[in-house]
């Protein structure tokens, strides 16, 4: 098998694992893969910037990408850190608007890029994929509303506890066991996720450590008492 054929096969396999495409036929995914161009980004380079035009959609193949934006007051807002194969940058294409956030490679990154017209044509031809995209967008709207509710009704300790839990489980209805390790996150980024200052979030984390709720393993936090954090988060 040639290198080009092997790369296409690997891309098809990665695309087939995407929640968007799980119900899509193999030939349709293969056709989408053929329309993709693979790109490599070095660590600390941007895949795109907030406010840029959105001519294409990315599919993360390998590496870790940070999604963030700058609010109207100039403060940086961290939205997510992605490290599993998935689509990103689709909102600008679907809404025919400029990029709503910036994507930064936290380490060397490989992505497949599909042009906006090819992506939209694919969704038109594959209703199951279109439905999955709509479900994902609905969940994002729900998550954004949940954040607003947290800012209104949870104190900072509750928000920090909830964000820590959200970083280690896809659903707060299914909490992990004690000892789960939180993906690497800085105090500044956690503060951005919680709607608080870095200094206050640092104080909250220090209190959690004193109470034995969390521990720090080199650069990452370990959740020692998941039920205790859940209680603080109002879950």
For 3-148, CATH gives: 2.60.120.10
Q: Where are the domains of the chain?
A: 3-148, 154-232
Q: With helix as H, strand as E and coil as C, how does the chain read?
A: CCHHHHHHHHHHHHHHCCCCCCCCCHHHHHHHHHCCEEEEECCCCEEECCCCCCCEEEEEEECCEEEEEECCCCCEEEEEEECCCEEECHHHHHHCCCCCCEEEECCCEEEEEEEHHHHHHHHHHCHHHHHHHHHHHHHHHHHHHHHHHHHHHCCHHHHHHHHHHHCCCCCCCCCCCCCEECCCCCHHHHHHHHCCCHHHHHHHHHHHHHCCCEEEECCEEEECCHHHHHHHCCC
Length of the chain: 235
pLDDT tens-digit readout, 76-87: 777 888 888 889
Strand partners, 62: 110
Q: Is the confidence at residue 233, as pLDDT, over 80?
A: yes
Q: Is the confidence at residue 48, as pLDDT, over 90?
A: yes
For 23, 135, 158, the CA distances from 120, given in Å and listed in that order, are 17, 16, 40
Nearest to 86 by CA among 24, 34, 26, 15: 15
Q: pLDDT band at residue 127, thresholds of 50, 70 and 90?
A: very high
pLDDT tens-digit readout, 162-174: 888 888 887 777 8
Q: Where on the phi/psi map is residue 144: left (φ > 0), alpha (ψ -120 to 50), or beta?
A: alpha
Q: pLDDT band at residue 144, thresholds of 50, 70 and 90?
A: confident
Q: What is the predicted pLDDT for the residue at 8?
A: 56
Residue 115 CB neighbour total at 10 angstroms: 15
Residue 201 CB neighbour total at 10 angstroms: 25
Q: Is the confidence at residue 235, as pLDDT, over 50?
A: yes
What average pLDDT does range 37-60 have in this prediction?
Answer: 94
Q: Is the confidence at residue 120, as pLDDT, over 80?
A: yes
Q: How far apart are CA 68 and CA 213, in angstroms?
A: 28
Q: What is the predicted pLDDT for the residue at 185?
A: 79
Tokens found for residue 140: 């994002």
Tokens found for residue 182: 């939180």
- Report the predicted TM-score, pTM, of the whole model to 2 decimal places: 0.73
User: pLDDT above 70 covers what percent of the chain?
Assistant: 96
Q: Is the confidence at residue 2, as pLDDT, over 50?
A: no
Nearest to 67 by CA among 143, 120, 159, 118: 143
Q: What is the predicted pLDDT for the residue at 60?
A: 93
pLDDT tens-digit readout, 178-224: 888 888 778 887 887 787 888 898 999 999 999 999 988 777 888 98
Nearest to 147 by CA among 161, 165, 159: 159
How many CA within 13 A on the CB side of residue 83? 7
For 154-232, CATH gives: 1.10.10.10
């Amino acid at each position: 098998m040639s290198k080009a054929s092997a790369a296409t096969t690997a891309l098809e396999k990665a695309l087939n694992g995407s929640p968007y495409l799980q119900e899509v036929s193999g030939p349709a995914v293969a056709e989408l893969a053929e329309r993709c161009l693979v790109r490599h980004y070095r660590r600390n380079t941007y895949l795109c910037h907030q406010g840029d035009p959105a001519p294409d959609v990315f599919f993360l193949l390998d590496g870790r990408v940070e999604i963030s934006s700058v609010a109207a007051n100039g403060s940086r807002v961290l939205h997510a850190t992605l490290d599993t194969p998935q689509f990103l940058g689709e909102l600008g294409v679907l809404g025919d608007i400029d990029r709503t956030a910036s994507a930064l490679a936290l380490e060397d990154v490989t992505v497949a890029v599909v042009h906006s017209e090819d992506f939209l044509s694919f969704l038109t031809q594959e209703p199951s994929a279109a439905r999955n995209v709509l479900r994902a967008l609905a969940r994002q709207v729900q998550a954004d509303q949940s954040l607003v509710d947290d800012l209104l009704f949870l104190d900072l300790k509750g928000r920090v506890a909830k964000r820590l839990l959200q970083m280690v489980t896809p659903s707060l209805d299914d909490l992990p066991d004690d000892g789960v390790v939180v993906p690497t996150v800085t105090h500044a980024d956690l503060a951005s996720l919680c709607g608080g200052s870095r200094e206050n979030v640092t104080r909250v984390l220090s209190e959690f450590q004193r109470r034995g709720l969390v521990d720090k393993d080199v650069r990452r936090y370990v959740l020692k008492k998941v039920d205790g954090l859940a209680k603080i988060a109002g879950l």
